[in-house]
Structure 1
Amino acid sequence: MSMMRKALNLPSFLFSVFIFYWSLPLFAIIYRIRFINVGKRNDMLDWAKALVAFFRVTVLKQGEMTLYRGGRCLYLCNHRSWADFFIDTYLTEGRAALMSRWLVYFVFPVFCTSVIILRGIVLFKRGHIANKEAFNAWLDATLARSTVPGLLVYPEGHRSLKPTSLPLKRGMLHFAYNRKLPVQVIVTRGKEEVLSEKTLSARWGRTLVVTFSHVLKPSDYDSFDAFFDDIQHKWDACWKSSYDKPTAGVPELSMKDAHEYSYPRSMWWLQLGMTFLSIAILVGVMCGSWVGLRAGLAVLGSAQQPVVLGSAAWIGASMLRAFF
């Protein structure tokens, strides 16, 4: 049954990954990403909003706390699937650079190149860090050049579909403590229901539940251990709030007056060039795919019609299921 379910999920999943992969040119063409504007803008938030709208996601907000907008901040989010990238960018209103492995760049090079230009992502090699001081100095310099004030990290370290959290890793929390960087926990339920590479599934019209913690300031703690213990306490409380509390009457997340940025002229030109280049590549890929598809169908001969009808039924059933 599991294999049959994955087979049924596959067309809608691949379609969703296609939209995600080519999200920069697709949303630039319809101007959901305002890549030509010379005034203030927030391309990362535009990109995330467009994908959230594409998947018809609704976000409910548990509790009284909202996103911290006071300046530099380390945002801690739970790690569930590829959907984390655009959903957590949306939840942090494009205020935070994503900290991610270099592998992500090779999986999604188009939008990652754009985000590198916007200085909205910090890519690192996974594994043991031999010289932590050198790594932290590099991270300080990288963040200092970023347009956005925050940094978004996944303290569990790995994507997990378990109903409970993985143990929190301490590395970036040491960084925050030593730099006196405020920390906010953001736990969201249901991100993997939108798009999951582990289950090869995508769904539209999902409702997510997010909980924001109070902001924790390292200067309020006498030791790192006390700081970490309070983060763990806030993390567990947010997890319970998002995953266990009833959602009846819980309001939708409100996003008013999200901050926009004045991009340096060099960044503006690079982003403009990357966007036009990605549109040209997309057009080339689509034309090449159409030619290849026609050639492939021609080879089938008399089997062409039943193959097309069978494929259409499979794709239609998959897309229909993704809405329920």
Structure 2
Amino acid sequence: MSAISKAWSLPSFLFSVFVFYWSLPIFAITYRIRFGNVVKRNDMLDWAKALVAFFRVTILKQGELSLYRGGRCLYLCNHRSWADFFIDTYLTEGRAALMSRWLVYFVFPVFCTSVIILRGIVLFKRGTIADKEAFNAWLDATLGKSIVPGLLVYPEGHRSLKPTSLPLKRGMLHFAYSRKLPVQLIITRGKEQVMSEKTMSVRWGRTLVVTYSKVLKPSDYDSFDAFFNDIQTNWDACWQSSYDKPTAGVPQLSMRDAHEYDYPRRMWWLQLAITLLSIVLLVAVLGGTWMGVRAGLATLGSVQQQAVVLGAVGWMGASLLRSFL
């Protein structure tokens, strides 16, 4: 990607990252996240739905298979960009805790704090696990405290923009096999077109294509190798379905009534508190930014002020226009 293209994309990309970063208070203020409801709700799905709508994403579903809703499940998704977090949460209907590195928390602390309260994320340190049994026991305990039945994992391990998959890592598949945890694969084409931190680009109005696999149950296999080989076979087939098959006539993903949860009282109050605090912080940040911009402009002459404002508005406008094309 050329320097000129990156410069053109930068304002709209930064705007999208701002909305993503402050998505909790923004969508709470508009009540897309129903943080005040005392009845059943699904805040993770509300958050994902709001971002999918904000980016005007359309999702087509290849094949007859749909999301597994039968209970505990390990969902395996392809890893493309930051957009994975809300798109895959949407595709799993908020039924799965995201498994992610601790670094993600420091990049997006506001919504991550909310998801920690909802027990919808499992954060771990990247690196070699010295004691796998201890890690698995910790993971068992962590998942046992969650109200969502699934776990969402990226088995490629790294984000990639390649048109082919990275090799699948076996660690979490060993975990699924040892716990007799059903596995479903979810491969989606085009997530990096919505937003990509690697190319610093964003596009509104993109159409994605998703393929769900059949549910693979460890109890149906005589060995881990047989289980892994079938996962690889189905992964490759789902990839080919999403990436290579024609999309003419492919129906749009239809999300029927998703499951909602009775949040425990402590979780409800903590979620209310972090949401209200995030709204206060957002207002403070916006107010401080406005005062900083005004103070900066005040150091310039009137002609210079007009030139800076017009240049900034034109740059942002051109960048947004390009992102909608």
- TM above 0.5, one fold? yes
Q: Please list, as runs of the form range in 1=range in 2, the aligned pairs for 1:214-233 lying within 5 A after superposition.
A: 214-233=214-233
Q: How many angstroms apart in 2 are the aligned matches of 1:300 and 1:195?
A: 35
* Structural mapping, 1:38-77, within 5 Å: 38-77=38-77
Secondary structure at 1:216 match in 2: coil
Deviation at 1:257, TM superposition (A): 1.1
SS in 2 for 1:60: strand
**Alpha-carbon deviations, 1:58-102, whole Å to 9, x = none?**
000000100000000000000000000000000000000000000
Distance 1:289 1:265 in 2: 36
Partner of 1:194: 194
In structure 2, what is the equivalent of residue 249 of structure 1?
249
| Equivalent position SS for 1:300 | coil
The alignment's C-alpha RMSD in Å is 0.6
Identity %: 82
**Structure 1 residue runs of 4+, over 6 Å off?**
none
The CA distance in 1 between the partners of 2:300 and 2:238, in whole Å, is: 55
Match of 2:173? 173
SS in 2 for 1:99: strand
CA deviation profile, 1:4-55 (whole Å, cap 9, x unmatched): 0000000000000000000000000010000000010000000000000000
What's the counterpart of residue 318 of structure 1?
319
Does residue 161 (structure 1) correspond to residue 164 (structure 2)? The answer is: no
CA distance in 2, matches of 1:176, 1:92: 18
Output the TM-score relative to the length of structure 2: 0.99
Cα deviation, residue 304, structure 1: 1.2
Instruction: Find the aligned partners of 1:41 and 1:298 in 2 and give their Cα distance.
Output: 48
SS of structure 1 residue aligned to 2:59 = strand
Report the equivalent of 1:79: 79
Distance in structure 2 (CA, Å) of the matches to 1:315 and 1:122: 36
Report the CA distance between 1:300 and its aligned residue.
2.2
Give the gaps of 5 or more residues in structure 2: none
- Aligned residue for 2:85, secondary structure, equals helix
1:66 & 1:131 partners in 2: Cα distance? 36
Aligned mates of 1:271, 1:299 — CA distance in 2: 42
Superposed CA offset, 1:164-194 (max 9, x none): 0000000000000000000000000000000
Counterpart code for 1:179:
R
Structure 2 matches for 1:4-23, cutoff 5 A?
4-23=4-23
Aligned to 1:99: 99
Please report how far the alpha carbon of residue 311 of structure 1 lies from its aligned counterpart in structure 2 after TM superposition: 1.1
The offset of 1:308, in angstroms, is 1.0
State the SS of the aligned residue for 2:151: strand
Structure 1 residue matching 2:53: 3-state secondary structure: helix
Query: What letter matches 2:215 in structure 1?
Result: V
